Structure 1
Amino acid sequence: MPGEEIDKRHPNRGGAARPRPVSPHDILRKTFGYETFRPGQEGIVTTLLAGRNVLAVMPTGSGKSLCYQVPALARGGLAIVVSPLVALMQDQVAALKLAGVAAESINSAQDREENVAIWRRVAAGEVRLLYLSPERLMTERMVGALARLNVQLIAIDEAHCISQWGPAFRPEYDMLQTLRQSFPGVPIGAFTATADEATRRDIVGKIFGGDAEVYVAGFDRPNLQLAVSPKDNAKQQLIDFLDGRAGQSGIVYALSRKSTEEWAAFLVSKGFRAIAYHAGMSAEDRAEAQSLFMTEKGVIVCATIAFGMGIDKPDVRFVFHADLPSSLDAYYQEIGRAGRDGSPADVKMVYGLGDIQLRRRFIDQEEGGDERRRREHKRLDALVAYCEAPECRRQNLLFYFGEESPPCGNCDVCLDPVHLVDGTAEAQWVLEAVKTTGQRFGAAHVADVLAGKSNEKGDTLRHTELPVFGIGKAQGRQHWQSMIRQLVGGGYLAIDVAGYGGLSISPKGHALARGDGSFRYRQDPVRTSRKAERARKLVAAVEEGGVSDALLQRLKSLRAKLAKERKVPAYVVFTDRTLIDMAAKRPLTRWDFGEVHGVGESKLQQFAEVFLAEITRHVQQESGVA
């Protein structure tokens, strides 16, 4: 087998001979055809070969897979690779087999007979890398059977899922922390393209019990041109973005399964070659879509996040986010599918306040517990700060992952700077408010202090007596919230994602507070007044078709039913304008329902429960929850 020579003097646990180590450089050259390791790879390989645990955070396209495949072959015996997606496992196994490596996967896409035959080969010592999903691995029977074999290495691919997917979604990811007890002395490698500091601490604590070497390669992808725009007419924005891109391969990410199909149909109607991809499709249809994208040029995939993990297509020239991702971590993963060949590629996101609101609702509906929900809200805060960054977007993105960078000259803000005004004095007020309140409170509380808005927390802690209390009363609370978001986006303030979302002052912020440098901010923040946003959404919904027709029809059917029961005309229950506004806002709480145009106290009491239930059902079905 590739990567091992047999020394018959040392039997292993399975009764076969213990392999004599082979040089990882020989394996790299003879098995994979590469003369040298890429930067960062050799240190990880050496650490695993020495029997030590590793967490490796490396950008997309940097060769993470080789970092565990080479030591797996060099150590001999059996290596277990934990992977979240069947398609990803199948692709890697196919590539390894082409390289002459005995690799297999036991998964749900294969029939039982095939899986049984593969297991027999594993038990006989004929397989070197076995790919399993967490669900397939973390059963008492499978762990027990593998523990009797000569397991020499465990690799966990896409390790950020351990922290970010949550125990309620895939609890077996949380169970991976028991592997070090089940396989004592076996080195474990965890690999991911994205993990902020909080996620890294989470992985090291859960999987390794705090005992692991951590390798963090640079996160910068300088060939990607970054851009973000407020969502106006998303369809027209996409068409404008695609102008001049005929024949290029790309990905359009959308929030729901249904919307991916709608986007694909829209692009086809405009003459593009587009296909949909989401988890609700059959395995055969997903495989066909992926194969088409991988093998042919000029195909645009309209997808949910179910598409892309492990996709290794080098010439993806663009990624367009039609909806807001869940976090900067997810955004970084998704844009990482573009430009893997090192050539220029463009990534653009359009987003609106409705996207933020919907993302927050999804977080609140998760079942992972209050701690997880709190953390995900703070990750979303960081993403919003990135969207509103008044300075270099790449600086903002890299700062989130703990890196500093000069202005990149290759993002929309650098290439077409927004109109900024001097806000140094106001920024210093914000920094002073953060400092004097103890660098442990969130944006809402700091904005209240600056705007002179008293609350129980501020009264108890005597924040109302601070010199900065009410210093910015004339500007108002919303102004200060926007300033804080832009200071976070500029790297002057940091959000404690792992803690309680408190703001702290970065070294850059301390310098500004001392008078070293200046701060310029955008006067026209994305956030608008509730009244103005309501009017804008209503006009957009009517004129641009921004409302889900399916939801609107459901609401009309419900209105007709209620009107019939009360023997009144339908408009007496709610006017069309109210239903359009309701479909645009998608309220999921009584408070939100009360903010819908045309909903007074009486109708709130009579109709909130039944309409909220209908909207919730629609949202769940659209997102694939129900």
Structure 2
Amino acid sequence: MSSTAVSTAEQLAHDPLQSKLESVFGYHEFREGQRGIMDAALDGRDSLVLMPTGGGKSLCYQLPAICSEGVAVVISPLLSLMQDQVEALNALDINAATLHSGVSAEQSMNTLQALQRGDIKLLYVSPERILQPSFIERLQTLNLSFIAVDEAHCISQWGHDFRPEYGQLGVLRSYLPNTPFMALTATADSATQHDIIERLHLNAPLVHRSSFDRPNIRYVVQEKYKPLKQVKDYVKKQKGVAGIIYCGSRKKTEELAESLQQSGVRAAPYHAGLEHTLKETTLRQFLRDDIDVVVATVAFGMGINKPNIRFVVHFDIPRSVESYYQETGRAGRDGLPAEAMMLYDPRDAQWIRRMIDEQDNEQRRAVEAQKFSAMQAMAEAQTCRRLVVLNYFNEYSDKECGNCDLCLDPPTRYDALEDAQKALSCVYRVGQQFGINHVVEVLRGSKAQRVLELGHDTLTTYGLGKAKPQEHWFSVLRQLIHRGLIIQDIRRFAALQLTEAARPVLKGEVPLELAKPRLELTATKTRITDRGDYNKILFRRLRKLRKDIADKEQVAPFVVFSDAALVEMCVHYPTTAADMLDINGVGEVKLARYGQEFMSAIEAFLAGASERQLFNG
């Protein structure tokens, strides 16, 4: 063995994280932030991890778990995700198991016995199960490496998906004071982040905040005019790739799924009112690529570990930017091109607002109303949609993405300095204590009772904008929010507040262009683009081979290899073990289990392929 090989082996021996990253998971480099999070876990330090879907959150606890003594416990409300992750880990010869209400008594007993013997490295548990007093007592007897709380936004009253049982997880700290905690979420604004740290009693945690940007996802909003036809036409253009369509009601999911089936699409509905066995069948068929499209209510997909979803369609507008981001984030988790398409009709927004107003809890009603206002603003945005999403999560930028409908088909721009000064001045004059509706009323010289009672009809900005319609000023203010000149304080009923970036605009020191408000949305013709640098003929053959193996082993195809790994194979044509290990996602276990079949298929393709097939596949 050469001295270089010896030194590399020695380095890996002293760096178990890097060694296991390559040998077990088949990756050669950590993604941004992962290494620091894992080191914190191994050092016994608490952490709060904000990382987008598809950003590598799961690896942040899976890898340090297998490099630690004892067992790591992962708390998740997503039963299907837990099962998918356990299945994928077991395929890598990692001892993982799950405990929740859907597990049989016999399976639970076997898992508990294996846990006591120390045979399990990762245990996935539902919040209801872990809070049982008898289970907490059991945890106190185990050698715990750390506890990971996934979907941690569910803990917070400010989160978009608050769950009371999740809010109780903080009690675990009093029973397990020396066990480090890792809280992970893909969606949390600053108020939610503070709430997570406080409620879980995280001790001086490492806070890692990855970029929320998912550049491989194209964001598209279409005017909703003939929704059934629009969706059917859209799905047909995708040519059999996997997708999810979200609807606002159970009835819509069934009607749309039936209509797609009649059009020859392999589709199925999914909602809480269907029989459990039918839902389980649909989920498994989707995971195993036996159906292409699931038409569902919003609960579906939260826990799906399916990396090759190429599109997500919102038939109806979601209720928050967090929900939209999380649901669209289920597309393109493998890093390949994907698309998020939403149909928008202002009447749908009115219906949701009525639903929110019927909430009994005043505080919850206020939070949901403010979050929906931000979502509606995103749907009606005239600036880059990705900027709107990123700025919502306090990731401020003014560089447009070039991969959303507004970047690809941009609206007309105009010199908006005077409009911006009027709007910003009005926000300031009302004391930065009121929301967007009130500011617009003052700008347009409204005689509304509240405006008069507050004396805001005497302000210098009163009526400054009366020459332009209400929709114009809503658009201007939303664009100023999206550009980071104004923030909405969710803790103060979405009151508008100026940021430091507003100062030079108010003083007229810098120019400012905004999009001329589109008071009517126009439909955009788009399709998912292909990265185009790999052999499509070979990809189809390897995809079929993968499906045959997966069916034989009764697992989802991505458990064998991801689409991203297959694409790499169709770029580099690996025909030796060393070449195959250079493919991301191919570790030693998968090489031993599947490598030879794929190398043989690639060799056979190369032997029989014409020059044209090689270069124009």
Smaller-chain TM-score range?
A: 0.7 to 0.9
Counterpart of 1:307 (choices 300, 308, 313) is 300
Alignment gaps of 5+ in structure 1: 1-20, 528-626
Q: CA RMSD in A?
A: 2.6
CA contact (8 A) 2:155 2:162 kept: no
Q: Which amino acid aligns with 1:373?
A: R
State the partner residue of 1:64: 57
Counterpart of 1:93 (choices 86, 89, 102) is 86
User: The residue matched to 1:488 in structure 2 has which SS?
Assistant: helix
TM-score with structure 1 setting the length: 0.76
CA contact (8 A) 1:52 1:213 kept: yes
Query: 1:443 deviation in Å?
Result: 0.9
Are 2:344 and 1:351 aligned? yes
State the partner residue of 1:102: 95
1:149, 1:298 → 2: CA distance? 42
State the partner residue of 1:530: none
CA contact (8 A) 2:99 2:125 kept: yes
Query: 1:41 deviation in Å?
Result: 0.8
Are 2:511 and 1:517 aligned? yes
Q: Which amino acid aligns with 2:364?
A: R
2:474, 2:161 → 1: CA distance? 32
Q: 1:36/1:422 Cα in 2 relative to 1: closer, same or farther (>3 Å)? A: closer
1:223, 1:257 → 2: CA distance? 30
Query: 1:238 deviation in Å?
Result: 1.4
TM-score with structure 2 setting the length: 0.77
Counterpart of 1:371 (choices 363, 368, 372) is 363
State the partner residue of 1:341: 334
Greater relative contact order (Cα < 8 A, sep 6+): 2
The alignment-based identity, stated in percent, is 42
CA contact (8 A) 1:60 1:340 kept: yes
State the partner residue of 1:393: 385
Q: 1:145/1:445 Cα in 2 relative to 1: closer, same or farther (>3 Å)? A: same
1:304, 1:165 → 2: CA distance? 22
Q: Which amino acid aligns with 2:230?
A: Q
Query: 1:134 deviation in Å?
Result: 0.8
1:30, 1:524 → 2: CA distance? 53
Q: 1:236/1:424 Cα in 2 relative to 1: closer, same or farther (>3 Å)? A: farther
1:412, 1:488 → 2: CA distance? 20
User: The residue matched to 1:75 in structure 2 has which SS?
Assistant: coil
2:218, 2:388 → 1: CA distance? 14
Q: 1:139/1:508 Cα in 2 relative to 1: closer, same or farther (>3 Å)? A: same
Q: Which amino acid aligns with 1:317?
A: R
State the partner residue of 1:408: 401
Q: Which amino acid aligns with 2:107?
A: E
Q: Which amino acid aligns with 1:379?
A: K
Question: Size of the alignment, in residue pairs?
Answer: 507
Q: 1:492/1:233 Cα in 2 relative to 1: closer, same or farther (>3 Å)? A: farther
Counterpart of 1:383 (choices 375, 384, 390) is 375
Q: 1:498/1:249 Cα in 2 relative to 1: closer, same or farther (>3 Å)? A: same
Query: 1:458 deviation in Å?
Result: 4.5
Cα deviations by residue, 1:400-423 (Å, 9 ceiling, x for unpaired): 112233111111111112245444
Query: 1:166 deviation in Å?
Result: 7.2
Query: 1:170 deviation in Å?
Result: 3.4
State the partner residue of 2:544: none
Alignment gaps of 5+ in structure 2: 1-13, 522-617
2:491, 2:86 → 1: CA distance? 36
Query: 1:24 deviation in Å?
Result: 2.4
Q: Which amino acid aligns with 1:222?
A: P
1:191, 1:169 → 2: CA distance? 15
CA contact (8 A) 2:80 2:304 kept: no
Counterpart of 2:108 (choices 103, 115, 119) is 115
Query: 1:243 deviation in Å?
Result: 4.7
Query: 1:486 deviation in Å?
Result: 3.8
2:455, 2:199 → 1: CA distance? 39
Query: 1:177 deviation in Å?
Result: 1.8
Counterpart of 1:505 (choices 495, 498, 504) is 498
User: The residue matched to 1:498 in structure 2 has which SS?
Assistant: helix
Q: Which amino acid aligns with 1:94?
A: E
Counterpart of 1:23 (choices 9, 16, 23) is 16
Are 2:166 and 1:173 aligned? yes
Counterpart of 1:157 (choices 126, 150, 161) is 150
Q: 1:370/1:144 Cα in 2 relative to 1: closer, same or farther (>3 Å)? A: farther
Cα deviations by residue, 1:365-399 (Å, 9 ceiling, x for unpaired): 445x3223212211111111111111111111111
Q: 1:355/1:490 Cα in 2 relative to 1: closer, same or farther (>3 Å)? A: farther
Counterpart of 1:463 (choices 448, 456, 469) is 456
CA contact (8 A) 1:396 1:491 kept: no
